[in-house]
Structure 1
Amino acid sequence: MVQIVPPGVYYAVPLVDTFRKVDLRVRTVEVPRQSVITRDGVSCSVDAVIYYSVVNAAAAICNVASYANSTFLLGQTTLRSVLGQVDLDTLLAKRDQIGEEMRKVLDKETESWGIRVSNVEIRDVVLPSDMIRFMASQAEAERERRAKIISADGEFQSSQKLAEAAAVMQREPMTLQLRYLQTLAQISAENNSTIVFPLPIDIFKALARNAESSPVSNAVH
């Protein structure tokens, strides 16, 4: 007859009664590093930590010889089984999701032992050195691709602005002359030197037309 009693002082009849103390606190099991082959054929080493507690002391004592050792061994096999169904990218990016899947599997298997698995964490993933070099080169190529896309996008936007400016200058020829004079003013301000430059003939034509049409010139004639 199995009887579960709360904490306290009890008397046991020698050679008749036996008692076992069961710790109901949360316990941890460190699953040592396991060699795993992912779904895409990559070999890696993974370790994990399992958090569990006893919720049914009678089942933990009567239904399994050693619930602690059984949970440890089950964690090893479950780790290899679950990780063999995912690819490497998923393993590296979704550790929490994989840990939750492992927790559900372990919790279901240990329910008859009076065990509740509260959490499973994938602690470390060790990759072969050649795979690390390959991933580094792949990441570098991806960064270069993004940099080229950003540079090409900037050149495209710049060409659009230049085309718009050229269209404005084509409609208004004087804007080109004003821009020319502005550039010369900037050059003279930056360098303290004498600059000799050709003056566009269009400016003289415009000045001549203004002089001919002014009232002063008409009075002289």
Structure 2
Amino acid sequence: MRIKTADIPRQEVMTKDNISILANAVVYFKVEKPDTAIVKIEDFEYAVRQYTQTALRDVVGNSELDFVLTEREKIADDIKKIVDSETSAWGVDIESIKIQEIELPAEMKRAIAKQAEAEREKRAVIITSEGELKASENLRKAAENLAKSPIAVQLRTLQTIRDIASDPSEKIVLYLPSDIAGIVKKLGKE
């Protein structure tokens, strides 16, 4: 016999962690023994839908929201096992159940969005702090190198003065050490 489908309408379901969601599904089934299905139950299609709807509420009700959102296939498989265990006695075989949609309340969507934003901000802070740590390590190494060579510090001072003086719109008054002329002479000889 051919596989039939039955839509399980959207229904409000409460998860184990008391969060109300809307869920709907579709069930694919096949009548293996038509004579048994007719004799054992009045309307097997209606019964399959009702059992699936009830099993959906039971399985989701025993699961936390994170599990429901991430493990749809497992939820659907658990529902299939429950429904199939009942319907097999009627001669009806459940081929599969697919959860079509899980909709969260608006406030829950906002809370999840806030959580995701907080996670992104956390990662950004971590990346920034790692960059600042590397920069401070580089500055420390540069300071150590400059400390090893006093002439390098003075050369750096002269480079800074030259950079500042290159902008004609700036007027800067600098106090230079008295030995700056001697440094310039030394650098000129080298």
TM range (shorter): 0.7 to 0.9
Structure 1 window deviating more from structure 2 (66-75 vs 99-108): it is 99-108
**Aligned-pair identity (%):** 35
Matched, 1:94 2:81: no
**Residue number in structure 2 paired with 1:118:** 95
Q: List gaps (5 residues or longer) in structure 1.
A: 1-23, 212-221
Amino acid corresponding to residue 29 of structure 2 in structure 1: Y
Instruction: Count residues with an aligned counterpart.
Output: 187
- Normalising by structure 2, report the TM-score: 0.78
**Residue number in structure 1 paired with 2:105:** 128
Where relative contact order (Cα < 8 A, 6+ residues apart) is larger, the structure is: 2
**Residue number in structure 2 paired with 1:106:** 83
Q: Pairwise CA RMSD of aligned residues?
A: 3.0
CA positional deviation for 1:184: 6.0
SS of equivalent residue, structure 2 residue 21: strand
Matched, 1:84 2:66: no
Aligned counterparts of 2:108 and 2:161: Cα–Cα separation in 1: 59
Out of 156, 159, 162, the residue aligned to residue 139 of structure 2 is 162
- 1:60-81 Cα offsets, whole Å, 9 max, x none, are 3333332211111101100100
CA pair 28-210 structure 1, distance change in 2 beyond 3 A: closer
SS of equivalent residue, structure 2 residue 12: strand
Out of 39, 51, 54, the residue aligned to residue 74 of structure 1 is 51
CA positional deviation for 1:36: 1.0
Amino acid corresponding to residue 106 of structure 1 in structure 2: V
CA pair 27-151 structure 1, distance change in 2 beyond 3 A: same
Amino acid corresponding to residue 204 of structure 1 in structure 2: G
**Residue number in structure 2 paired with 1:56:** 33
Check whether the contact 2:154–2:183 (CA below 8 A) recurs between aligned residues.
Answer: no
The structure number with the bigger radius of gyration is: 1
